[in-house]
C-alpha cells in the first residue's frame, strides 16, 4: 500500500488544477446529461478495472468528484499501490447522477494515466529486484501534470529525480558547450548556488568523466554510454572518489535495466516511465439507483 501524502497546500494546489481541467471539459455545461437525465436523479456508480495492473490516483479521483459535488459519497475499495486483477471494483461513488456523469471522464482520465505510470514503474522496479540500484524518473512529463505523474512513479516503487529546473543543477551537453567546458560550467555554478545544492554533470565519454570528476561534480550521469565503457567508468570513479554518485540514463528498457545496474551505478533514470506508458483501462458504470446491488 502507498499512502497518499496529504497536506493543505498540496491538496489545494491539486484542487485548483482540477477546477481548470473541469472548466476545459464542462465549459458552459454538460449538455448531454442536462438534457437526458432528470435533475433530481440519484445513482450509484461502480469504478472497475478492465485489465490487470497497479492502481494510482484513487485520492485524485475522489478529489475530482468532491470538486464537482461535495455531496457525492466516494468509497475506495482499493488503495494506491495495490496490484489488482481484471474486473476488480476499485471504488463506488453515490449521489447526484448529473454530478457523477459530469466528473466521470476527468476522474477516469487521471486514474488511467496514473495507474499506467505506476504499473510501468512497478515493472522496472521488479526488473531491478535484488540489486541496490535506485530507479528514478525524469522531467519528461506531461505539462501541467508533473506533480501527479511523479506521484504515480513513487506509487509504483520508483523515486523522483529533480522536479524542475529550480531544485538541482544538471549540467548537460548544451550547458557544457555554452560555458566552454565542464570545468568552466561546474566552477561557475558552484560559485553561485547554495552550499546545500548538488551539481550533476552529464558525460558521454571517459574523457568527460575524468573532467567532471576533476571539477568536483557531486553526481556524474553516464548518458547513452555503452555498458562495457560504463562499467570501466564506474570502476574508475569508485576507486578515485567513492562519494560521487553515479547515474545511468538513455536507452534504458526492461530488457537492459538489470545489466545496466550490474555495472555498479547508483541510480538509473528512465524517461519512458512518464512519457511512454499504456494507460490502464478503467471504466465507470452507473450500476443502479442508490441502494442497488453492485454487479
List active site positions: 105, 140, 172, 202, 223
Q: Left, alpha or beta for 142 (phi > 0: left; psi -120 to 50: alpha)? A: beta
CA dist., res. 251 & res. 253, Å (int): 6
CA dist., res. 270 & res. 256, Å (int): 11
- Return all residues near 268 (Cβ < 8 A) that are at least 6 apart: 128, 133, 134, 135, 136, 247, 248, 249, 252, 257, 260, 261
Tracing cell 475530482 back to the chain, one arrives at: 64
Coil, helix or strand at residue 104: helix
Nearest Cα neighbor of 157 from 87, 220, 257, 83 is 83
Please say whether the beta carbons of 213 and 240 come within 8 A.
yes
CA dist., res. 36 & res. 177, Å (int): 61
DSSP bridge pairs for 47: 91, 284
DSSP symbol at 188:
H
Tracing cell 562519494 back to the chain, one arrives at: 243
Phi, then psi, of 292 in degrees rounded to 5: -75, 165
Amino acid at each position: 500500500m502507498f499512502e497518499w501524502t496529504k497536506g493543505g497546500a498540496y491538496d489545494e494546489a491539486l484542487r485548483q488544477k482540477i477546477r481548470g481541467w473541469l472548466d476545459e471539459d464542462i465549459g458552459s455545461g454538460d449538455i448531454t446529461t442536462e438534457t437526458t437525465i432528470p435533475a433530481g436523479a440519484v445513482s450509484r456508480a461502480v469504478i472497475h478495472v478492465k485489465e490487470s495492473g497497479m492502481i494510482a490516483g484513487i485520492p485524485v479521483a475522489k478529489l475530482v468528484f468532491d470538486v464537482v459535488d461535495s455531496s457525492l459519497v466516494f468509497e475506495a475499495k482499493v488503495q494506491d499501490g495495490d496490484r489488482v486483477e481484471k474486473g476488480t471494483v476499485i471504488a463506488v461513488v453515490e449521489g447526484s447522477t448529473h454530478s457523477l456523469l459530469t466528473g466521470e471522464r476527468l476522474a477516469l482520465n487521471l486514474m488511467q494515466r496514473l495507474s499506467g505510470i505506476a504499473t510501468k514503474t512497478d515493472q522496472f522496479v521488479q526488473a531491478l529486484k535484488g540489486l541496490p540500484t535506485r530507479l528514478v524518473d525524469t522531467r519528461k512529463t506531461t505539462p501541467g501534470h508533473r506533480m501527479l505523474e511523479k506521484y504515480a512513479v513513487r506509487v509504483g516503487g520508483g523515486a523522483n529525480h529533480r522536479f524542475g529546473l529550480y531544485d538541482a543543477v544538471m549540467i548537460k551537453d548544451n550547458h557544457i558547450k555554452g560555458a566552454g567546458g565542464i570545468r568552466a560550467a561546474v566552477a561557475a555554478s558552484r560559485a553561485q548556488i547554495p552550499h546545500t545544492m548538488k551539481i550533476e554533470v552529464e558525460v558521454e565519454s571517459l574523457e568527460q568523466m575524468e573532467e567532471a570528476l576533476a571539477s568536483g561534480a557531486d553526481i556524474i550521469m553516464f548518458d547513452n554510454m555503452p555498458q562495457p565503457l560504463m562499467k570501466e567508468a564506474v570502476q574508475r570513479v569508485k576507486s578515485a572518489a567513492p562519494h560521487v554518485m553515479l547515474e545511468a540514463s538513455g536507452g534504458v528498457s526492461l530488457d537492459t535495466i538489470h545489466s545496466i545496474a550490474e555495472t555498479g551505478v547508483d541510480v538509473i533514470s528512465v524517461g519512458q516511465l512518464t512519457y511512454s506508458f499504456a494507460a490502464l483501462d478503467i471504466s465507470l458504470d452507473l450500476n443502479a439507483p442508490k441502494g442497488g446491488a453492485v454487479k
